Amino acid sequence: MSRPQGASSLTDQQPPQGTQTAGGVARSAASPAEPRPRRRATDWRKRLEITVLSGPAIIVFVGFVIFPVALAAYYGFFRWKGFGPPLDFVGLGNYLVIFKDTAFHEVLIHNGIIVVLSLVIQGPVAIVLALLLNRKIRGRSIIRVLIFVPYVISEVIVGVGWSLMLQTSGAVNDLLQSIGLGFLKADWLSDPGIAIWSLMIIISWKYIGFAVILFLAGLQSIPEELFEAAAIDGASYWQIQRRITLPLLGPTIRIWAFLSIIGSLQLFDLVYIIWGQYIASTAGVSTMATYMVANGRTSGNYGYGNAVAVVMFLISLVIALVYQRFVLRRDMAGAVTERQK
């Protein structure tokens, strides 16, 4: 029996996508996505894991960094003697005194000099020592330990020892006298023209071991194949160091420079132990930290001392942000990755 023209049987018709047929539901061309509840559960699990792992560190950071800074900023608006609730509100009076005080301008300049001299003196010397200790020489391990020993010695021991040696009747002047260089004897601690250099010698002796160890760690990450290929091409030792070692050691040098700058801005212990808060100002080696102690705690004006601490924090924060923005930007570009969508 023939079908009417234009008519079609049920078997000739294709079921629409996603409609139910006698054989079951027809599947669409594109497979359905994973169930959303499972993905949400995975996201919550990851968030919970991050919270549990980072929670203690965040609590410690907020309790020992953010909260003290906020409290210091609060007390900085008062004239406070250090006990009882602060009642004598002075607003920005403490901060205006800081910026008008010529003594603060002097200590700010001293900190700037210490920052520059630390980079200029410690950096090249530490790089040379690291290059020498990176070669296979006899007693290399012992030399590394001896260079690093001053860094682990307490600042109190270092300060007391150097203050005894640098006195006018100390070991340094006695040594110069015994070897026939008595004309070089000087007042190493009180002479304003020499005291800053005495401080830089002590700082370099104390902290150069940290820079050497840091640079050695950076040198270990440079592949030996690069040195071998350069030597085969006829490059000399110094050409290899200038063209290969120093550029690849650049990220480590920049990180060390950042740590050195922040440490120089916050320098306190060695200056306070060797010179004291009053001799340091006359000798030209006082810092913002010693100024804070002398004009805050010792003077009984804790509100002013807290204001100085906030100014120190802001100066260090601004320098750190600027350094990270313009110096460490290229080094951190490969460490920070965007989340894939």
pLDDT in tens, the chain (341 residues): 444 444 444 444 444 444 444 444 444 444 555 555 566 667 788 888 888 888 899 999 999 989 998 999 999 999 988 888 888 898 899 999 999 999 999 999 999 999 999 999 999 999 999 998 888 888 888 988 899 999 999 999 999 999 999 998 889 999 999 998 888 899 999 888 899 999 999 999 999 999 999 999 999 888 888 888 988 888 888 888 888 999 999 999 999 999 999 999 999 999 999 998 778 888 889 999 999 999 988 888 899 999 999 999 999 999 999 999 898 887 776 554 444 44
pTM of the predicted model as reported, rounded to 2 decimal places: 0.80
Tokens of 151: 């860094």
Task: Tell me which amino acid residue 242 is.
Answer: R
Domain spans in the chain, listed from the N-terminal domain onward: 104-329
Q: What is the reported pLDDT for 335?
A: 52
- 3-class secondary structure, 78: strand
Identify the DSSP state of 188: T
Backbone φ, ψ for residue 25 (5° rounding): -85, 130
- b or e along 312-335 (b: 16 or more beta carbons within 10 Å of the residue's beta carbon)? bbeeeeeeeeebeeeebeeeeeee
DSSP letters, 3-61, are PPTT---TTTSPPPTT-EETTEEPPPSSPPPPPHHHHHHHHHHHHHHHHHHHHHHHHHH
CB-CB contact of 270 with 184 (8 Å)? no
Q: What is the reported pLDDT for 36?
A: 55
CATH of range 104-329; options 1.10.3720.10, 3.40.50.2300, 3.50.50.60, 1.10.287.130? 1.10.3720.10
- 3-class secondary structure, 64: helix
- 3-class secondary structure, 89: strand
CA dihedral over 186, 192, 193, 199, signed as positive or negative: positive
Q: How far is it, in rounded angstroms, from Cα 275 to Cα 202?
A: 13
Q: What is the reported pLDDT for 38?
A: 62
Q: What is the reported pLDDT for 35?
A: 53
Q: What is the reported pLDDT for 37?
A: 55
Backbone φ, ψ for residue 149 (5° rounding): -60, -45
- 3-class secondary structure, 198: helix
Tokens of 150: 């001053």
Question: Tokens 């006082």 map to which residue?
Answer: 286
Q: What is the reported pLDDT for 4?
A: 46
Q: What is the reported pLDDT for 41?
A: 66
DSSP letters, 233-272, are TT--HHHHIIIIIHHHTHHHHHHHHHHHHHHHHT--HHHH
CB-CB contact of 122 with 140 (8 Å)? no
